[in-house]
Structure 1
Amino acid sequence: MSRAAGKARTAGSEGGPSQQCDGPTRLSVNLVSDHASSAVDWRLFLPESWDDTKNTGDALLTGAIQRRRAKADIPDSERHKEKWRLALDMLDEVRGDWELPGLPVVADAGYGDATGFREGLTERDLAYAVAVKGTTTAYPGDAVPERPPYSGQGRRMLDRVFAAGLRPYYPKTTTPQETNVRVSSG
C-alpha cells in the first residue's frame, strides 16, 4: 500500500475544519467562460511536513520524510512552496510562456488573505476579486501606524493604523496629584 503524495492534515481552503487529504493536493489555474471551464495549468502542493530540507535538525525525521517521498515517487526537485506562490508561478507561465491574456483573477480566502498574493497580482497588473476572512484588515495606501500614548495604567496599546490626516482624539488623563478635593463643613 503506497502513501498518497502530499497527504497531511490540512485546513480547508477558507480556514474551515481540518481534513485528511487522500491524494495529491493539486492547485490549478482555470480559464472560465459562460459556457465552459478548463484547467490550463496545475502544480503539486507538498506540505512542509513532506519537505526533508525543512527538518534538517532531526536525522530520524529527515529519514522518515525521505522514505515517504520515495514511496510516493516525489522527485527531489519538488519542495514545499506556499500555495499562493505556486499560484503566481502558474499565472506567470500561462500569461508569459503560453501567451494567454491577463484575464481577471478570482480566488478564495485561502489566497485572498495572503498579502503577498494580492501584491503579486497588483505587480503583474492583473485585475482580481479575492475573498478574505472577516478578520482581515485593509487600509488606504497612505495609512501609517501610530502608537497611542501610554496612560501608565494597564497594558500598552498596540499600534493603530490611520489614514493620513486622520488622527484619533486621546483625552488627557489626570493623575492623583492633579486631583483637587474640596471639603466643606456643614
Structure 2
Amino acid sequence: MTDLTFVPTWAGVAYVCFIIDVFSRMIVGWRCASHMRTEMVLDAIEMARWGRGAHHGDLRCHSDAGSQFTSIRYGERLAEIGATPSIGTVGDSYDNALAETVNGYFKTELVRGPARSGPWKTVEDLELATLGWVHWHNTERLHGYLGDIPPAEFEQAFYAGKTTINQLVEIK
C-alpha cells in the first residue's frame, strides 16, 4: 500500500512517499523529495523491491488515484516486478486507510511531535529524520493490530514458524 504526504521545510514543501506491507505494517520503502513526480514513487518501490526481493507471487500495490499512481511509468514498473496495481476510488480515503494512517503517525510522531521546534531547514534534513522515524516505526513502535509488537518482531515470529497469524494478532 502506498501514499504521499507533504511536509513544510524552510526550503519549501517536501513530499514523502511510503510503501507499507499490509500484512506486517512494515514500511518497506520510502522516499523524500522536493517534488511529487512519479520518479519519487518509483524510488520508493525500488527500495521496497530491493529489501523484499525481486519477485513475490500475487503481489499488489494499492494506492489512491493520484497522478503518480496512474502514470504509465508506474504501471509499467509494477508489471516488470510482477505486481498488480490496485487503485482506490477518487475522493475516498477509506480504501487507502492504512496508508493514510501511516501518514498520520508520521506527522503526529515526527513532524509535529513534542521534540520538534519548527520546520526542517532542507529536504535532506527531513530525509534524515524520516530515516530514523522509519527505523523506529519498524523495530520499536508497538502496533495494536499486531498484538502490541513492532512490525519487525511480528515478521520474525511469523517467518520463524513459531506461531500462526491468529496467535500473533489474537484472533479467536
- Pick the TM interval, shorter chain: 0.3 to 0.5
Larger Rg: 1
Structure with more contact order per residue of length (Cα contacts < 8 Å, sep ≥ 6): 2
